[in-house]
Structure 1
Amino acid sequence: MRRLRKVWFILPILLLAYLAVAAAWAWTAFDDALRAAPAIETVQLSDRQAAILLRVEDPAFYEHAGLSIGHGQGVATITSALARELFLGDARLDGAQGMFQSLYRGVFACCKRVDLGRDVMALVLDARMSKRQQLARYTATIYMGRHEGRQLKGLAQAALGYLGKPLEAASEDEFVRLVAMIKAPNHYHPSRKPAALAQRVARIQALLSGRCEADGWFDTEFRACAP
Structure 2
Amino acid sequence: MKRKLIYLVALLCGALAIYEVYAVVIAYQKLPHQFAPYASVSPKDIGLSKKRQDILVTIQDPTFFEHSGIEWPSPITTTTITQSLVKKLFFKKFTKGFKKIEQTLIARFVVNPNISKEIQLTAFMSTVYLGEKDGIQLFGFEQGARSWFNKSLSELDDDEYLSLLAMLPGPNMFKPNTVASRERVRRIKQVLNGECIYEHVSQIFLEQCSER
> Residue 93 of structure 1 corresponds to which residue in structure 2?
none
Q: Return the offset for 1:127.
A: 2.4
Per-residue CA deviations over 1:153-172 (Å, capped at 9, x if unaligned) read 11111112212222112222
Tell me: CA distance 1:25–1:215, structure 2 relative to 1, closer, same or farther (3 Å). closer
Post-superposition shift, 1:14? 2.6
Match of 1:99 in 2: none
* 8 Å Cα contact 1:22-1:120 kept in structure 2: no
Q: Which consecutive segments of 4 or more residues in structure 1 shift more than 6 A? A: none
Consecutive unaligned residues in structure 2, runs of 5 or more: none
The count of residues paired between Structure 1 and Structure 2 equals 203
Equivalences for residues 1-227 of structure 1 within 5 A: 1-34=2-35, 42-69=45-72, 75-89=78-92, 105=93, 108-109=94-95, 111=97, 115-123=100-108, 124-191=110-177, 194-214=178-198, 218-226=202-210, 227=212
Cα distance, 1:119 vs structure 2: 1.4
Deviation at 1:215, TM superposition (A): 8.7
Q: Give the partner amino acid of 1:153.
A: F
Cα distance in 1 for residues equivalent to 2:19 and 2:131? 34
Deviation, structure 1 residue 77: 0.9
**Identical-residue share of aligned pairs (%):** 29
* TM-score (normalizing by structure 2): 0.83
Please state whether the residue corresponding to 1:54 is helix, strand or coil: helix
- Supply the distance in 1 between the matched residues of 2:149 and 2:37 (Cα, whole angstroms): 31
Judge conservation of contact 2:48–2:154 (CA < 8 Å) in 1.
yes
User: What does the per-residue CA deviation read over 1:135-186, in whole Å, with 9 as the maximum and x for residues that have no partner?
Assistant: 1111111111122332221111111221222211222222111100111111
Question: In the alignment, is the contact (CA less than 8 A) between 1:60 and 1:70 conserved in 2?
Answer: no
SS in 1 for 2:78: coil
What letter corresponds to residue 17 of structure 1 in structure 2? I
Alignment RMSD (CA, Å): 2.7
Judged with a 3 Å threshold, the aligned counterparts in structure 2 of structure 1 residues 110 and 53 are, in CA distance, closer, same or farther, namely closer
User: TM-score, normalized by length of structure 1?
Assistant: 0.78
Cα distance change of structure 1 residues 149 and 208 upon mapping to structure 2, 3 Å threshold = same
Query: How much has 1:47 moved relative to structure 2?
Result: 1.3
